[in-house]
Amino acid sequence: MDSMNFDAIMAQVKEKLIHFCMTSGLKLIGAILLLIIGFKIVNIFGKKIKKMKIYEKLDPTARTFMRSLIVISLKIVLVIAAAIIVGVPMASMVAVIGSAGLAIGLALQGSLSNIAGGFIILVFRPFKVGDFISTVDATGTVESINLFYTKVVTVDNKVVMVPNSIISNQSLTDYSSKDERRVDLVFNTSHDADFEKVKAILLENAKKHPLVLEKPAVEAFLTEHSTNAMAFSLRAWCKTDDYWTVFFEITEGVKKSFSENGIKIPSQKVDVHINN
């Protein structure tokens, strides 16, 4: 190839580059700038939402979920706008979105079901932010409900991200939904313990506790009479927030009362047979 042919080819390449930059190139740059600047603005807006009065008026359970939904929706709108700037026809875009939506829907069934699960949680309210819940995957306090996951903080301060699809389809226990809870305690004593005295000690420890409610009344009774021990059950009601305080303090109080009154707790017996 001689120098004249090379110069001619380079001139054509240069001309095409200039034409591309003047037409499609400017549109492409504009679309890229729109995405870069737009995403930054949306992220800033997502942070500003937290300070809006209308956001503060929302139920805590719905706040994080709605904010995530708004931010993701705005970013999808930006992507569509960028495609329009580049020159993608709307008819073609609708067809592409339709076919791509089907493929993406099949590929992201889990993610879409998580979004649906989030809506189910918001509508039917099986629990709310701040509740102490127990599921197959986690036990702890609900810190936030996001678009795809529910954030649960365990009692030892671990964070468990439970998919909304799982948490909305599994059995769930909400320990915070009621204002009052019953504390169930079981105490074992030896067979020679005074039956009535044990019951009196249990009732006294529960009734004198300042956090135990008067109604429903405290109950104590013998629930099991096995070969090794007698099992007594104590039932006392308290406010849900006071549950663990009542549980631990009554347990300690009964142990002290048993020791003061000579009531023995049975020890495990092991029979050893030696064959000569």
Instruction: Write out pLDDT tens, residues 130-181.
Output: 999 998 888 999 998 888 889 999 999 999 999 988 888 888 999 998 999 9
Share of the chain above pLDDT 90, in %: 36
> 134 near 149, Cβ under 8 Å?
no
The more confident residue out of 119 and 89 is: 119
48-90 confidence digits (pLDDT tens): 877 777 766 676 667 777 777 788 888 888 887 887 777 766 6
Rounded to whole angstroms, the Cα distance separating 273 from 276 reads 10
Give residue 144's identity as a one-letter amino acid code: S
The pTM of this model reads: 0.60
Dihedral angle at the C-alpha atoms of 238, 243, 246, 247, nearest 10 degrees? 130
The more confident residue out of 40 and 18 is: 40
Cα–Cα nearest to 115, from 145, 147, 70, 161:
147
DSSP 8-state code for residue 266: P
Helix (H, G, I), strand (E, B) or coil at 47: helix
Which residues, at least 6 apart from 58, have a Cβ–Cβ distance to it below 8 Å? Answer: 66
pLDDT at 18: 60
